[in-house]
Amino acid sequence: MTHAVDETPFFPPNRYTPTRGDTTVILGSYLGVHLAVWCNYHLGLMRGPAATPPYPIIWPTYEQFLQVGSVEVGQHFFIQSLANARVISGPG
C-alpha cells in the first residue's frame, strides 16, 4: 500500500494547482479501495464460490469471432482515415 504514496509527486506546499487536486483524488481513491480489499481479505469476508458453476460454459461461436474481427477492421479503417486526413490537411 505504501508504494502509491512513495510515488506521489511532491508539489510546493504553498501553491495549489489542479494537478495537485487530481493527484489527491486519484491517490485517495486508490488507497481507499486497496485498504478495503485488504481488510475484507484479512477479516475473512472474501470467500470463493461454494460449488462449481451449475451451468455449462458457452464458448464463443465462429460468428462471434467474425463480429469481433469486423469491429477490429472498422477500427483500423478509422485510424487510417485519421492518418490520411492529417496528411491531406498538411502541417499545423
Query: Percentage of the chain surpassing pLDDT 90?
Result: 40
pLDDT reported for residue 89: 87
Question: How far apart (Å, rounded) are the C-alpha atoms in residues 39 and 34?
Answer: 9
- For the chain, what are the domain ranges? 1-49, 58-92
Question: How far apart (Å, rounded) are the C-alpha atoms in residues 27 and 51?
Answer: 37
- Which pTM does this prediction carry? 0.40
Question: How far apart (Å, rounded) are the C-alpha atoms in residues 83 and 20?
Answer: 35
pLDDT reported for residue 5: 55
Confidence check: pLDDT of 44 > 90? no
